[in-house]
A and B are shown apart, each in its own frame.
Chain A
Amino acid sequence: MQEIKRKYVVPGDKVIEGNFRPLMNVIKAGNSIIATRIGIAETGRDGVKVIPLSGVYIPRVSDIVIGKIIDHSSLSWEVDVNSCFSAHLPAQDVFGRDFSPARDDMGRQLAIGDLIAARIIAFDRTRDPMLTIQDKDLGKIPHGELLKISATRVPRLIGKRGSMIQTIEQATQTRILIGQNGIVVIMGRNLDGIKLATRAIRMVEEEAHTANLTQRVKALLNVPDSPQAEGSSIIQTPNNQKDEEIQSTIEEVEEEIEGEKI
């Protein structure tokens, strides 16, 4: 088991001295590694990073995000992805290569105010993020309870291999879509279940940095805190199939990113 040292830091704090590799949200200054954000600093075999606890979502290629259509030109939709840049969804992505503005009505496919689950396919220092909704499980989200959390808490909300979010889903009989950009949509027929899921998500958001969070969430949900906890049967919503796949897609992406970092 690799030894990881952790501590709370604010910008300017020295995380550690010595010849360590700076990984994320840290800089090298002389012989020390300095934190550049508020968060939890982790020093491991592979280097030093700070898991941030605040900050606007910065787009990353491959991320699944939930965005809101806010405008369209003749060639693309402009999408608010709760970030420092607006994203663009090209009309060709929806209509195909032979898209013609004269014939294809963009407003009918996706109108201003619509919510979509999309994947970021391009983003770099020179241009705004570009989206696709062509993969399975992506596209317009027709209904659900909308919630915004800090994007920095999304990994904690998902949990290791989706454990945290699945615990919440099963206990409240809901399906929960999570965008890496901090936008969350809760779907379900049971109003009380949706309310409870909302409370659980808020609890994770507020206490993401603390110990024993999983226990407290389970207590809130009235779920026994044992490894063999029985989940209640998953409610069959029309989008069930889609949501499971979005969920697993999100997890795969998470793991890919974890892989890249380490």
Chain B
Amino acid sequence: MSSSKRSTIIVEHLRKQQMWDAISKGKRLDGRNLNETRPIEIEQDIIKKANGSAKVKLGNSEVVAGVKVETGEPFEGLENKGALILSAEVLPTASPYSEPGPPDEETVELARVVDRGIRESHMIDLDKLVLIPGKIVYTIFVDCSVINTDGNLFDATSYAVVSALVSSKLPIFEIQDGRVVDTGNSQDPPITTIPISITTVRIGDVVILDPTAEEEACMDARITIATNSNGQYTAIQKGSTGAFTVEQIKKAAEIARIKGEEIRTKLKELPKTG
């Protein structure tokens, strides 16, 4: 059951007023333009024990993603595909409001929205990760730990997952005498496209990109849109308790496509991107 709740962060009236004044003039409190993202820092391969990993800082939001590859049964109904399992935890280190315990509805939504962006775009060609159809396939676990939050965890987590996957090295398994054996060799993951998630929020009549925690506390509505390398839309999630006009949604979609390509280019320039 999901229920309405009071906003965790109460933004001072002073700040809200300044935010509205600034936004009406095309600027934000941290000096950014309406369509500007915060600086993005990406470090890949930081967890050597994982098959792939990345740490992303989007402004002060910080997420670590790790990829572990094993073998297991395929999902029901998807007997000829490898399995991809994505989960996320907002660590209790992340903010004064994060509590340890099973994931709450916001964390579950975070994991599922990020997963959708990766899965629906077919970023990993799961057809290539089957050992015995219907019985044994590669299982790719992607786990995300949010270390510090300052808004827009959807994009920060998504970039961490994408950066970890593109730089990962998958083991090469074989079937010998009916059993799975790790050959000890490794392969690049079968990547078909680079999905990029872009989150925008509406404050009053203005749509802004990559909100900070303070801006999220003042937002009326939020939308997260993922595009693939061909500029096609593959996953969308509208969030928060307000509404969008159709015009605003179309504008947000356009921003997502254009900004998505900018960030995709940046990711491709990373040294460890396959």
Contact surface of A with B, Cβ cutoff 8 Å? 68, 70, 80, 111-115, 141-146, 185
Q: In the complex, which of the residues B11, B13, B15, B17 has the most CB atoms of chain A within 10 Å of its own CB atom? A: B13
Chain B, 7-61, CB within 8 A of any chain A CB: 10-18
Name the CB-closest residue of B to A70: B10
Contact sample, A vs B, 8 pairs, CB 8 Å cutoff: A68-B10, A70-B10, A111-B13, A113-B16, A114-B13, A141-B14, A142-B14, A143-B17
Name the CB-closest residue of A to B15: A146
Q: In the complex, which of the residues A70, A113, A114, A143 has the most CB atoms of chain B within 10 Å of its own CB atom? A: A113
B10: A residues at CB distance < 8 A: 68, 70, 80, 112-113
Contact surface of B with A, Cβ cutoff 8 Å? 10-18
Alpha-carbon gap, A31 to B236, bound state (A) = 68
Would you call the interface of chain B mostly helix, strand, loop, or mixed? Answer: helix
Name the CB-closest residue of B to A69: B10
Alpha-carbon gap, A113 to B18, bound state (A) = 13
Alpha-carbon gap, A113 to B10, bound state (A) = 6
A114: B residues at CB distance < 8 A: 12-13
> Measured between C-beta atoms, what is the minimum distance from A212 to chain B in Å?
30
A111: B residues at CB distance < 8 A: 13
B17: A residues at CB distance < 8 A: 143
B12: A residues at CB distance < 8 A: 68, 113-115, 146
Alpha-carbon gap, A182 to B11, bound state (A) = 17
Alpha-carbon gap, A117 to B13, bound state (A) = 14
> Measured between C-beta atoms, what is the minimum distance from B146 to chain A in Å?
23
Alpha-carbon gap, A258 to B18, bound state (A) = 37
A145: B residues at CB distance < 8 A: 18
Alpha-carbon gap, A112 to B13, bound state (A) = 8
A112: B residues at CB distance < 8 A: 10
Alpha-carbon gap, A70 to B97, bound state (A) = 15
Beyond the given pairs A80-B10, A113-B16, A141-B14, 8 more chain A to chain B contacts, judged by CB atoms under 8 angstroms and listed by A's residue number, are A68-B12, A112-B10, A113-B11, A114-B12, A114-B13, A142-B14, A145-B18, A146-B12
> Measured between C-beta atoms, what is the minimum distance from A168 to chain B in Å?
20
> Measured between C-beta atoms, what is the minimum distance from A95 to chain B in Å?
21
Alpha-carbon gap, A23 to B12, bound state (A) = 37
Alpha-carbon gap, A80 to B12, bound state (A) = 11
